[in-house]
Structure 1
Amino acid sequence: MTEDLREGPLTSLTQTAPAPKQKPSGREMRRIRRRRRRRGEEMLAWVLVPLICVGIYWCITAGFEFMGTSPGQVWDQLMQVKAMMEKRH
């Protein structure tokens, strides 16, 4: 019973030095690279998709301006053509 008193206080496992971190394996490195690439692609998409949509709109608008017409006039002409085609049959 006296031998227990001479041992001193018990140390907890959290006080011991943590194990050194191991170098990531090839699979883990590939997973990290893939995750970074996906984030980059996602950010690039948030910028490029709106720019592409605005560019398409500007191209269509410029095309109508070049031809001297508007979408409404083109639609009306298409409806006239449709009405004429229906009268034929």
Structure 2
Amino acid sequence: MNDLHEGPLTPVTGTQTQTAPKLSRREERRLRRKRRRQGEEILGWILVPLIVFGIYWGVTAGLDFLGTSPSQLWDQLMQVKAMMEKRA
């Protein structure tokens, strides 16, 4: 029952010594492109919503700074449109 003095383990031969065949330049380039596309896709799913939110926040903050709001701006644009239609 004393397992401490059995001796060193012998390495298993076979599957451990086999290495994958080296990829050709064309296959390496294909894998790099595939990884880059996946990375760009992930980055896009993260950055696009942040950019859209940032633009919205920037426009809202700018209009707040000017003392107006998007709805008031829209109403004023519709009034100008109505005036231009009456003129024509």
Where do 1:1-89 residues align within 5 Å? 21-89=20-88
Identity %: 66
Q: Distance in 1 between matches of 2:38 and 2:54?
A: 24
Higher relative contact order (CA closer than 8 Å, sequence separation 6+): 2
Flag the 1:24–1:79 CA change in 2: closer, same or farther, 3 A. same
RMSD of the alignment, in Å?
A: 1.9
Q: Where do 5+ consecutive residues of structure 2 fail to align?
A: 1-13
- Compute the displacement of 1:23 (Å): 1.1
Flag the 1:87–1:26 CA change in 2: closer, same or farther, 3 A. same
1:18-48 deviations in Å (ceiling 9; x for gaps)? 9974211110010011111111111111111
1:31-66 deviations in Å (ceiling 9; x for gaps)? 011111111111111111111111011001101101
Flag the 1:21–1:86 CA change in 2: closer, same or farther, 3 A. closer
Provide TM-score, normalisation by structure 1: 0.71
Q: How many aligned residue pairs are there?
A: 73
Flag the 1:32–1:86 CA change in 2: closer, same or farther, 3 A. same
Q: Distance in 2 between matches of 1:43 and 1:32?
A: 17
Runs of 4+ in 1 over 3 A off after TM superposition: 17-21
